[in-house]
Amino acid sequence: MFRQVLRWVLGERLKTSQLAEQKFNVFWGMAILSSDAISSVAYAVEEILWILIPVIGMASYSWMLKIAGAIILLLFILTFSYRQTVDAYPSGGGAYIVAKSNLSNLFGLIAGASLAVDYTLTVAVSITSGTAAITSAFPFLFPYRVIISVAIIILLTVGNLRGIRDSSRMFGIPTYAFIFSIIALIIAGFIKHTYGDYRDIPTPSQSHVAFGTQAVTLFLLLRAFSSGCAAVTGVEAISNGIPNFKPPSQRNAKIAYLLLASAVFVTFGGVAYLANIYHAVPNPHQTVIAQIATDVFGKGPMFYLIQVTTTIILAMAANTAFADFPILLSLIAQDGYAPRQLALRGHRLNFSNGILTLSTLAIILVIVFKGDTHLLIPLYAVGVFTSFTLSQTGMFVHWLRLKEKGWLHRAVINGLGAFITSITVGIIAVTKFPEGAWIVVLVVPTVVLIMLKIRRHYDSVAEQLNIPNETLPYLNFNPHYSHFVIVPIDSLNAMVVKALRYAKSLTPNVEAFHVETREGEADKLRRKWALLNTDIPLIIKQSPYREVVGPLINYIDSEEHASQPGDVITVLLPQFFVPKWWQMALHNNTSIFIANALFHKRNVVVSVLPFYLEDMPALKRKWHEEKNKEKQSRS
């Protein structure tokens, strides 16, 4: 039943040979891998105003435009820098691969951990922002924002588990719908303002935020800049996901970068301009986008269209993380710094374990921070700008080391990117540290330590399992082992007889073992055993505390049994399997608990002998069919 539900929800399994069919072109690739950066339009301007307005009041709007201009400049520098990363590392992996290859494994792990944390926060921030757009349009849903956010994450998880191609079709169209709706808002808003038909500037008494009258300080501007830098998060996504593009993947990824820069420039710059001329004020119950849309279009169809597309694009921003986070973890897992299961593709040729890991972590964040975007934003940009800095520094070292044709101007671009992003990450870490960035500052090193510990474990396992090639010709495949088999039984039945026969076919050294949990319980077994024509001894042990596993382990560890030193002890567990999955819950399944306990015993082999039971109606039909055949043969 589970397999049928899985097939219905996620689709049919895909062959490995179908992987090429799952890649997307520039049109869909830009929509999926750029939605994080594009969606930041929905909240980046608002985050800047949340910092400025309570301190400097009406002066915030002119400063907000200057800060937005600086962020757009940073966006273009990062775009051209990452286009060079696409040329140098076409296999993807972004900052992790670049830092590992050009700096050191440790810097690569720092970049990988920073990106992993950032992708998790991307999902949480994007989804909670999308939920805020929903509650702006329908205020009565505000108390249910956590439930709504978790539900959207689950829907995204299912969509991504269906595979790359399905998710690109499912999530790509809303990205373009958002871009065009924001462009329509910008054009209509500009025209309306030009003809003087717009709402008056709000006064402090009308606002949910107190208008400050303090002087402008450098620290204040840096705080606002660090909040607005959420607009450039997700820029690295295309370089991480190059393998997802159709050939020529590098060329398509570079074109997608140009489209990304253009889209963010128009939408982010346009919304910042509208927020300035319409004097939008941050409001916990209505987003800046919703305020501008109300001023421009009123509460008509266009207002709700913008709210719907904003909600969807913010969910799509989370989808960027769903596209890149599993790839990143698969690369880290292939290097032995993450569980190997994360490197395996699922039945739809995606890294399903990585997708499930991301959704679980994001749901935990949403619940812990109660679905509040403003509590999550301070944690957001530290990790991504750390990875930006390491990636750009790694590329700078790459060009200096190789000195290929045109290396000088490439090194200048990446060097400039490294310089600016390092300053930015310092600004963000300092200004956001007391607001929650300290959590990320602690989490990233912790994740790196966990990765190093995982690698040490894998190295230890490999060292103990490794057989040098020069010793292979001398291995002995005819060792002289004496086998001793113990068959734990509860009663004497067809399944037990089958297990005893199988054990005797392996070795004459067989014992049956039974645990008597209350006095006199084993008398029936003794009487039936006496009727057997066998030389197999029956060992019965008392268990006053009604425990089954413990007495068996104690017996194996003792010298009571007939095995000799050097014998291989095999515990043969007879286990029946019922035709219906739910019927297993009606049985004790003691053999499963015995097996789990014995797996930790050295020099003990655990073997399960399956015994398949048939459904009673099917068994009756089979019996009648045999009777009919017997009658026909007689006649």
Q: What is the per-residue pLDDT across 466-517, written as a single tens digit (0 to 9) for each? A: 888 888 888 877 767 678 999 999 999 999 999 999 999 988 999 999 999 8
2-458 placed in CATH 1.20.1740.10: yes
For residue 402, what pLDDT is reported?
A: 84
For 114-147, write each residue's pLDDT tens digit.
888 888 888 888 788 778 878 877 888 888 889 9
pLDDT grade for 108, boundaries at 50, 70 and 90: very high
For residue 204, what pLDDT is reported?
A: 46
For 188-233, write each residue's pLDDT tens digit.
998 988 877 655 445 444 456 667 777 788 888 888 887 788 778 7
Location of structure tokens 């999902």: 123
Reported residue count of the chain is 635
Cβ atoms within 10 Å, residue 409: 10
Location of structure tokens 């398949």: 612
The residue-averaged pLDDT of 557-568 equals 77
Residues 283 and 208: beta-carbon distance below 8 Å: yes
Phi-psi region of 148 (alpha: psi -120 to 50; beta: other; left: phi over 0): alpha
For 246-287, write each residue's pLDDT tens digit.
888 888 889 988 998 898 899 999 999 998 888 888 877 778
**Nearest one of 359, 295, 296 to 326, comparing CA atoms:** 359
CATH number of 483-634: 3.40.50
Mean pLDDT of the chain: 82
For 55-70, write each residue's pLDDT tens digit.
888 888 889 999 999 9
For residue 544, what pLDDT is reported?
A: 84
The residue-averaged pLDDT of 610-632 equals 71
Please determine, for residue 23, whether its predicted confidence score (pLDDT) is greater than 80: no
For residue 197, what pLDDT is reported?
A: 62
Please determine, for residue 319, whether its predicted confidence score (pLDDT) is greater than 50: yes
Q: 384-407: string of b/e by CB count within 10 Å (b at 16+)?
A: bbbbbbbbbbbbbbbbeeeeeeee
**pTM (two decimals):** 0.72
Tell me which of 177-186, 578-587, 599-608 is least confident: 578-587
For residue 105, what pLDDT is reported?
A: 92
Residue with the bigger pLDDT between 305 and 618: it is 305
Degrees (nearest 5) of the Cα angle 351, 357, 363?
A: 135
Tell me which of 2-6, 309-313, 401-405, 535-539 is least confident: 2-6
Q: Percent of the chain having pLDDT more than 70?
A: 89
- Residue 136's alpha-carbon distances to 96, 289, 305, in angstroms, are 38, 10, 13
Q: Percent of the chain having pLDDT more than 90?
A: 21
Phi-psi region of 382 (alpha: psi -120 to 50; beta: other; left: phi over 0): alpha
Domain positions in the chain are 2-458, 483-634
For residue 169, what pLDDT is reported?
A: 60
The residue-averaged pLDDT of 371-394 equals 79
pLDDT grade for 16, boundaries at 50, 70 and 90: low
For residue 205, what pLDDT is reported?
A: 42
Location of structure tokens 């810097």: 107
Alpha-carbon distance 275 to 280, whole Å?
A: 5
